Structure 1
């Protein structure tokens, strides 16, 4: 038996150009620089004589360079078990690949038999034949020892690093790193065997550059673009047979750790990675050419907000549509004033005919009902056509007048700015340069205004953009003046000239068009007072007529709503202009230094004024603009005021569009009425103005490691929508009688459904952004976000309108009353509207996308580490057992418990019970996942609940397959209608569930495998038993149908 000597003292040995430093014994480190390489290997009794290889990936800009130092190593010593390199450098095999995913880890490789690597060149100390020691390694050993040998100085002079960044890495001071964090991962392995002894390799620290950004692993330094890994080899236990060596856990030479302990350690490391998030991209050195140190980070690490569609453009379009529809309503009021009471009498006669022809009774003939409805539409078609002509004429006049004012208003502003003279020749160069960078075909013309001009502005004149600068721009430094010109050029490139001036023009045009019905009524009153009055008598007659006009309830309501509309439009337009200022700042400094713009904004005085003038200010404060330049992710975040403004505009847009669309035989879409037809463009407007910007902001916040707050947005959107439904111009004279859409209940159902859709959109956005590397964007991102939000918000509008309608229908039923009205209306709105197929298909697509985003693995991202929240670990472990448990519980309770018997009447009671049982499985999955993970469970439930419903549907269909008269129709009903009801439930509970706090840290595997299926099984069985054993729930809908 060999005696185990005491471990010698270890000294750090730096290897220049390799990015590594080896700790070797002091007794042999000096000899390594003077003796031949074979002398070190002849010491078989000393385990420290074994040499090895250390490599590390170095990221400099966009280039990945492996820095390698190789020393002799016994043949047959392979790399660690379970080591999977994420990428292979060119010219190296997979065995010699470089790990890109974890650049701070240590890799142990055999020196012999590695393909793709040329042999070490001869020459230098320790580089004789058969030694296997490269000259660069021996030069580093001698350089690190200093006093250990005289030959190290010459080798150090001859050794050159493979990359210029390695020289800075070797000269940078070393700082110990936190070992427990994700960047301080210990390189554990089975060790090195030499002379019957084991040794262990451990990572000791990483050198940090002086200007590196702070990251999650350590102190204020953070990992730079280059560095060195300090490693040590410590003696381990006595060597054992190869089969026993394989059974040992990694990093522990003498004792086998239990499997449960290793799993907990893996989960703990995953939680640490999830808490720290992904390591930000490292900036280039400060002395690199073309770069400058900025407080907001390096140009590569800055979030590029110019590559995503601006939310301001969609909100501009939404505001313009609301204003044009207001002009259309003015045309409708003018039609009623010109035609008098004739249209009203015609509509009353048509309604009387419909009441006579429509069948009555608890079970009316559907063919007679359809014939009566078609006759009613034909009777009112001529009146509706005339009214539609006036509505379209009012909108067209508003647009034409707005286009004219869009050309006129800038000319008036330019005239007020004083005499415009061409700017000096040097001022046009920044505009030409910025136009080329921003993609403009023609550079704007730069002019200088008069002494009264204080702010620079841009406008279009004869097809060419003009930038007018104040006279004070001549006193600015050239860099700041160029920044100002680039800012205005960015406005031109973004299309702000057209959108901003068109909005102003349409706003003034609406003010003129809304006054036309008042003038028509005033003229009619003057003519009815006794002929055409003389001009001299008008001053005495006008005050009384105006007072009489606005004393009527209709014109008073009309005037108040018109003022509210114009004020809201002015505030929203000013807010959009302020947002476009942020975007123009970021666009002007894209890929360029921001020092000139920051200096220009720093010297600028705050012109926002008092608090009551700030909502109408056209420019944000300089402090806010500076903050946006330093942190571009702030611009992409959705604000509470912006969200409320979008909800207000959509609340005005939906009922106005529904009333303006053609009805009867001339309707635009063959299915549905004008309300459900208008819900599609309203959902598209809400998706473009709020949904897509929200998803972009979530992705930008993840790239900047600053997730935006979303709870207040969930309350701001339905609040603005409710205010818009109440304040819409097309509801003039109707709110006090029938409410918006003719139903008061829409004030509750529509905002609740939209809030639930917003909650689902927020959790899906987090799931979508969490499954990809931080900052990675594709050209399909806006389309995916728009499609998902379009499906959510269109379904929300449909669900809200249908629910309110069925509440009204069952409320008027003789059997209605109490809670059965809400229960029956809720079920009918979900499963018996004729649109359940579209809703179920949309839910299935969302479930597929949520499942795909949940299980997607992002290479090199910390969010995909084992045990990270909704990553690939949680979904297969907890969701699959939860789905199976819910399906088993619902099926067992349905077939084990006897159903309640219906006292009298007839109807497909068993079929309705089966629909509710299928839905209970999805609800059980939803409740289980929310209890386990908080608000994140809502996103997972969208992926898990539809499969649970489909499993129960298939089981029910297979059991009664022989009894179905139309088996495929039964399968269609069992698959589609429960999914439609489940979608309505998700929209109902989306707001409270999305407002919950998400669980911190992953769910343990034992909890996922034991608690999740048991909990879902109990919940599904309980819901099924409640519905099946309660006659009031099971047969309330059928009783209402029988009683008419």
Structure 2
């Protein structure tokens, strides 16, 4: 007989609670690398790009007239050829127009190349100056700290042996050197040049009990094991190197005026001072006072934000070092040591600018690791702000004169890839670590989603590269970028969270393997780089909606025919294969051991079977509709028939995504992406087989069917993903009746969508451009 406790833990007990069912034991979240590396890397890149802006401003002060004259002459050149008429079915006209556009653009690149390369090299010089000065300070600053802690003396052999034993236990190949500081030293620390870090211990450590002394040593070794000691000092060095580089443009502006004033005072020669004064007046006319004040304000804001973020990361490193120090052993000695320390009752400002967290917060983190390893909204805001600044600044810095691959779309690819990489390291890793310690529940991410939207918006506004940008100039440029890119970045975060939960369902409580970490890193890179690419493409193409036939057609173009050359589709395919592997190997949700109910326990492969049947039924329905129904709009126009060929598989993928979101809420997003991709590829493959006998280029035919369809699925996923963060997590898919109803409804819904598309006339058809 089933007891009340058994009923509470039965598969159906969580169906109507709006929460996820219990998850199996998760892997150790500390097996994933710390997101601190990615966040320090973001800070360094943002500050280097600020130095690049200073270099570009020097260029504008020295060669502004030449650059503007050349750009105006190149852009006003004759444009050959005209676009074909709207709806022209002649493929030859389309090909000729495309070749003409390519020749015109290449002519502009060749014309503007020299001045654009000079501008880019000037900006690069500013970034290199910051990096070189920061690298020098990275070496000098630790020596300064070591001198303040001195005189240093070598540790006795017993302490050296203790450090070596602890280093071996923590997995370090080589133990760092350990020394004792002067009597003034109260806190241990780790410092030194790159690759030669040393642990400096206060003399008072010898009076501690052995267990507490070992806890202190393991805490410092945890910093070494994290591998970010050099990044900490590089960030500090770059932060100190940035202000003098940012002052160089102001020196160029005010230098002639100051030299003229000094010449008048020292020599009394008005001729020299008049000449220098006229140069200064000309410079001020070219660089208005409002721009100078805006530049100074943005530079000060950047330095303040960098300082606050760096201190916040330093505090989080202390928490992580505590957790690594007690990993696999009791936290009692470290907790006792923290309780002996006096609590800090300073003002909020002192706590905000402190390098170390308070003892109370460190104790709370030891008791509840989710307190440290979670994904708070403030972190989401900061990392999205920094990553979007990287995207915005790189797009502004990269030139248009290094060949065809660095046209407007190419610069967006480079900038989106860099921003996505650092966001995957600084935030994606944090999301996957945060999913593990939440005991038995998939975390709700709506607060972090809103924070990411806000951070990505402000990152485009407050950047130093936006100096002298007002609301009027924003409206005159691509305003949609300020709205669409934040939504795409937030959607990438929601997708990463959903995929992390599916990954945890597959994991065992064993330590995370290198292939497992590699898969997690690949998925996060694909998701976040795709977010920047898709958000940027969609904003650019929607801004051209008047030329593309309206909002809907511009949306379809951005999904199916962007100039990404199928890279997002390949990334989606890789992610789908990995998720399928996780689903097939899924251990399932723990069930009660009651033998009379063992028949109700679903085997690990049953969910995969459900997804396969769901995807297959939707794909077959889409293929049948496309085979036997011909749209009146496609008769005699091969260009339009090809569009219906890829829209039919999109209907199958959209159906699978909607069905799984209805059944599982936000918990079904990862499975929805997987089933939607599978159904789309299956439907496109069946359609390809149908036309195989008529095609002279089989490879090109399958690509023309699959890539646009997968591009639309990616865009649809990123469109709805942000909204799924606000949905409850449901478990209707665990009911056999709900699965049967979904499998029956999927082909019907697909057929309905397919018929609606085929009978929509030219509503969804994109005319030849």
Selected match of 2:449 from 708, 714, 723: 714
- Return closer, same or farther for 1:462/1:624 CA change in 2, 3 Å cut-off: closer
What are the Cα deviations for residues 407-459 of structure 1, in whole angstroms up to 9, with x where unaligned? 333344445557556678876564454344442635433223354x5543332
Structure 2 unaligned regions, length at least 5: 86-93
Maintained 8 Å contact 1:420/1:450: no
How far has the Cα of 1:317 moved from its partner? 1.5
Structure 1: how far apart are the matches of 2:559 and 2:683?
A: 19
Compared with structure 1, are the counterparts of its residues 475 and 726 closer, same or farther at alpha carbon in structure 2 (3 Å cutoff)? same
Question: Does residue 838 of structure 1 match 2:567?
Answer: yes
Deviations 1:369-424 (A, max 9, x none): 22222221111221122222222221221112112222333344445557556678
In structure 2, distance between residues paired with 1:318 and 1:717: 15
2:44 is aligned with 1:320: yes
2:702 is matched with 971
TM-score (norm 2): 0.86
Aligned mates of 1:762, 1:388 — CA distance in 2: 38
Structure 2: distance between partners of 1:411 and 1:468: 12
Shift of 1:483: 3.0
Taking structure 1 as reference, are residues 445 and 954 closer, same or farther at Cα in structure 2, changes over 3 Å only? closer
Superposed CA RMSD: 3.9
Matching of residues 787-806 of structure 1 within 5 Å: 787-806=522-541
Distance 1:919 1:496, change over 3 A: closer
- Aligned mates of 2:126, 2:251 — CA distance in 1: 15
Paired residue for 1:561?
298
Superimposed CA distance per residue, residues 924-949 of structure 1 (whole angstroms, 9 cap, x where no aligned partner): 11111211222232222222122322
1:932 aligned to which of 663, 671, 691: 663
Q: Deviations over 1:991-1016 (max 9, x none)?
A: 1124311213653223312x113322
Kept in 2: contact 1:440–1:493 (CA 8 A): no
Counterpart selection for 2:224 from 478, 488, 492: 492
The alpha carbon displacement at 1:717 in A equals 2.1
2:102 to 370, 389, 394: 370
Name the CA shift for 1:1033/1:356 in 2 (closer, same or farther; >3 Å): closer
Measured at CA, do residues 931 and 719 of structure 1 come closer, stay the same or move farther in structure 2, by a change above 3 Å? same
Would you say 1:1020 and 2:750 are equivalent positions?
yes
Over 3 Å counting, the alpha-carbon distance change for 1:493 and 1:769 in structure 2 is: closer
Q: Displacement, 1:871?
A: 5.3
Q: CA deviation at 1:741?
A: 12
Name whichever structure is richer in helix by fraction: 2
Give the Cα separation in 1 of the matches to 2:441 and 2:267: 68
Contact 2:163/2:175 (CA < 8 Å) preserved in 1? no
Which of 427, 431, 438 is the matching residue for 1:690?
427
SS in 2 for 1:999: coil
Matches within 5 A, 1:678-827: 678-701=415-438, 705=440, 707-734=442-469, 736=471, 738-739=473-474, 742-811=477-546, 813=547, 820-827=549-556
Contact 2:618–2:656 at 8 Å: present in 1 too? yes
Alignment match, 1:379: 111
Report if aligned partners of 1:868, 1:1001 keep a CA contact under 8 Å in 2.
no
How far did residue 750 of structure 1 move? Answer: 1.5
1:112-159 per-residue CA deviation (whole Å, 9 max, x = no partner) reads xxxxxxxxxxxxxxxxxxxxxxxxxxxxxxxxxxxxxxxxxxxxxxxx
Shift of 1:523: 0.1
Equivalent in 404, 413, 420 of residue 136 of structure 2: 404
**Aligned to 1:523, which of 231, 235, 255?**
255
The reply on whether 1:394 has 2:160 as its aligned counterpart is: no
Equivalent of residue 580 in structure 1, options 297, 306, 317: 317
In the alignment, the residues of structure 1 paired with residue 263 and residue 304 of structure 2 have an alpha-carbon distance, to the nearest angstrom, of: 37
State the 1:665 CA deviation: 3.5
CA distance in 1, matches of 2:239, 2:365: 29
Secondary structure of 1:380's aligned partner: helix
Residue 919 of structure 1: CA displacement?
Answer: 1.0
Deviations 1:174-206 (A, max 9, x none): xxx996767x9xxxxxxxxxxxxxxxxxxxxxx
Structure 1 residue 268, shift from structure 2 partner: 8.2
Q: What SS does structure 2 have at the residue aligned with 1:665? A: coil
Of the three residues 361, 384, 391, the one matched with 1:624 is 361
2:752, 2:591 → 1: CA distance? 39
Distance 1:530 1:1013, change over 3 A: same
Q: Distance in 2 between matches of 1:770 and 1:950?
A: 25
Deviation, 1:747, is 1.2
Task: Name 1:149's counterpart in structure 2.
Answer: none
| Preserved CA contact (<8 Å) 2:32 2:429 | no
CA distance in 2, matches of 1:908, 1:685: 40
Aligned to 2:726: 995
Paired residues of 2:194 and 2:230 also in contact (CA < 8 A): no
CA displacement, residues 562-619 of structure 1 (integer Å, 9 cap, x when unaligned)? 1121111111100110111012212323334322211111112233732234332211
Q: 2:70 aligns with which of 339, 346, 350?
A: 346
Instruction: Report what 1:434 is aligned to.
Output: 166
- Taking a change above 3 Å as real, the CA distance of residues 970 and 463 of structure 1, as seen in their structure-2 partners, is closer
> In 2 relative to 1, CA 465–1024 (structure 1 residues): closer, same or farther, beyond 3 Å?
closer
SS at match of 1:445: strand
- Map residues 128-143 of structure 1 onto 2, 5 A cutoff: none
Distance 1:797 1:515 in 2: 32
Report the alpha carbon displacement of residue 343 of structure 1 after superposing the two structures with TM. Answer: 1.4
Matched, 1:858 2:587: yes
Q: For residue 91 of structure 2, what is the aligned residue in structure 1?
A: none
What residue is the counterpart of 1:83 in the other structure? none
Check the 8 A contact 2:552/2:764 in 1, yes or no. no
Compared with structure 1, are the counterparts of its residues 1006 and 484 closer, same or farther at alpha carbon in structure 2 (3 Å cutoff)?
Answer: closer
Unpaired stretches in structure 1, ≥5 consecutive residues: 1-176, 185-215, 218-264, 281-300
Q: Are the equivalent residues in 2 in contact too, given 1:427–1:482 (CA < 8 A)? A: no
CA displacement at 1:534 relative to structure 2: 3.9
Distance apart, 1:1032 and its partner CA? 5.1
Superposition deviation, residue 907 in structure 1: 6.7
Distance 2:267 2:190 in 1: 44
1:334 maps onto 2:334 in alignment: no
Is structure 2 residue 213 aligned with structure 1 residue 445? Answer: no
- CA distance in 2: counterparts of 1:746 and 1:636, whole angstroms: 32
Give the whole-Å Cα distance in 1 for the aligned partners of 2:649 and 2:136.
60
Residue 795 of structure 1 deviates from its aligned partner by 1.9
CA 1:975–1:521 in structure 2 vs 1: closer, same or farther (change >3 Å)? Answer: same
Say if 1:843 and 1:490 are closer, same or farther in 2 by CA, change over 3 A.
closer
* Structure-2 separation of matches of 1:965 and 1:407: 63
Aligned length: 744
Partners of 1:379 and 1:930 lie apart in 2 by: 52
Query: Which position in structure 2 is the counterpart of 1:603?
Result: 340
Aligned to 1:923: 654
CA shift at 1:531, angstroms? 5.3
- Relative to structure 1, the CA distance from residue 841 to residue 494 in structure 2 (aligned partners, 3 Å threshold; closer, same or farther) is closer
Q: Which has the higher strand share?
A: 1
Q: For 2:619, which of 887, 893, 902 is the aligned residue?
A: 887
SS at match of 2:734: coil
Residue 576 of structure 2 corresponds to residue 847 of structure 1: yes
Superposition pairs of residues 258-337 of structure 1, within 5 angstroms: 278=24, 304=28, 306-337=30-61
Larger Cα-atom Rg? 1
Tell me: CA distance 1:478–1:770, structure 2 relative to 1, closer, same or farther (3 Å).
closer
Sort the Cα spacing of 1:430 and 1:593 in 2 relative to 1 into closer, same or farther, 3 A. farther
Change (3 A) 1:504 1:863: farther
Kept in 2, the 8 Å contact 1:657–1:678? The answer is yes
Please give the TM-score of this superposition, normalised by the length of structure 1: 0.65
Name 1:1033's counterpart in structure 2. Answer: 763
Residue 848 of structure 1: how far off its partner (Å): 2.3
Q: Work out the CA distance in 1 between the residues paired with 2:209 and 2:724.
A: 55
Alignment partner of 1:512 out of 223, 238, 244? 244
Is the contact made by 2:519 and 2:578 (CA closer than 8 Å) also made in structure 1?
no
